[in-house]
Structure 1
Amino acid sequence: MAEQVVKSLPQTTPEGKEELGSIEVAPEVIEVIAGIATTEVEGIFGTRGSFASGVAEKFGKKVHGKGIKTEWTAEGLVVDVYCVVQYGSQVAKVAAKVQKQIREAIENMTALTTKEVNVHITGIQFEQDQQKAE
């Protein structure tokens, strides 16, 4: 069976406000929110993107949604984050902070609740590697 692609996520009207029409949020917006929330966590070096996002960044374009995958299922919103941790950080604590930060950011900005926030640690960035990159 073919997977249905979600083009937008329906929003609810805030309490006490008159409904004037429908509000929908594109999945890319959720990815950007999650990407920014991830990079704000101490101990995260960055997120792992695709080849295309890497090329775009080489040309000076900032890609905030790289390394983030969202999926809207019947049970709710599932967010997968692929990130690199700085050497010396406690991986479990950093991952838990990332989960909390993403949940709060998405809920505060869109009023959507997440079913799952899965953090995938794809690498560790060592200090000497950071100095070479600068």
Structure 2
Amino acid sequence: MADTTAQGKTGTQALQKDEERSVGNGGRSTEVVKLATDKGRTSIADGVVAKIAGIAARQIPGVYALGGGAARAFGAVRQRIPGGKPNVAQGVSVEVGERQCAVDLNIVVDYGVPIAELAQAVRENVIDSVERMTALEVVEVNIAVDDIHIDYDGDDSKERQLQ
């Protein structure tokens, strides 16, 4: 990312510029909005960005689940507990700075889906959602495909044989 701090100004003062632009991934231009002003500062927690990224990744057809095997097993148990809610940030880790963030996703894909195309669609949706909702620049979205989901049309005997 280009240095957006003008000579003689602090980073906070540079953020106050309304029309400031930076070039992000793929040559896209993202507007830097006022996260810090003379009236106060807005900070966005890592968990907020992780939830946004998790929801955005799950919106793409072909993504079966997020998280590794142990995380998915724990999540399944957690959902069976009365009052238990799904963890939408499962399989997502983020690093959030003042103006930028990075996202790491662990996904399980449906069998037969072209993984490279799926990863690109997930990456674009996560970047668009996070940047639109938080005004943070997403510098990278790393995707690790941990497993492939094979649907046996409800025949558990075949699935048990493969485990």
Which TM-score bucket, shorter chain as reference?
0.7 to 0.9
Equivalent residue in structure 2 for 1:32, among 39, 42, 51: 51
Equivalent residue in structure 1 for 2:80, among 39, 58, 72: 58
Q: CA deviation at 1:71?
A: 1.7
Structure 1 runs of 4+ aligned residues shifted over 3 Å read 12-20, 51-55, 72-76, 130-133
Unaligned stretches of 5+ residues in structure 1 = 1-9
TM-score for both structures, normalised by structure 2:
0.64
Q: CA deviation at 1:61?
A: 1.2
- Per the alignment, residue 23 of structure 2 pairs with none
Q: CA deviation at 1:115?
A: 1.1
RMSD across aligned positions (CA):
3.0
Identical aligned pairs, as a percentage? Answer: 28
Unaligned stretches of 5+ residues in structure 2 = 1-11, 20-33, 157-163
CA gap 1:131/1:48 in 2 versus in 1, 3 angstroms:
farther
Equivalent residue in structure 1 for 2:132, among 105, 108, 113: 108
- How many pairs were matched up? 122
CA gap 1:98/1:20 in 2 versus in 1, 3 angstroms:
same
- Per the alignment, residue 21 of structure 1 pairs with 40
Q: CA deviation at 1:76?
A: 3.7
Aligned partners of 1:103 and 1:117 also within 8 Å: yes
Q: CA deviation at 1:75?
A: 9.3
Aligned partners of 1:75 and 1:115 also within 8 Å: no
Q: Which amino acid aligns with 2:62?
A: G
TM-score for both structures, normalised by structure 1:
0.77
Q: Which amino acid aligns with 1:57?
A: Q
CA distance in 2, matches of 1:13, 1:132: 59
Structure 1 residue matching 2:87: 3-state secondary structure: coil
Structure 1 residue matching 2:85: 3-state secondary structure: coil
Q: Which amino acid aligns with 1:56?
A: R
- Per the alignment, residue 108 of structure 2 pairs with 84
> Which of structures 1 and 2 has the larger relative contact order (alpha carbons within 8 angstroms, sep 6+)?
1
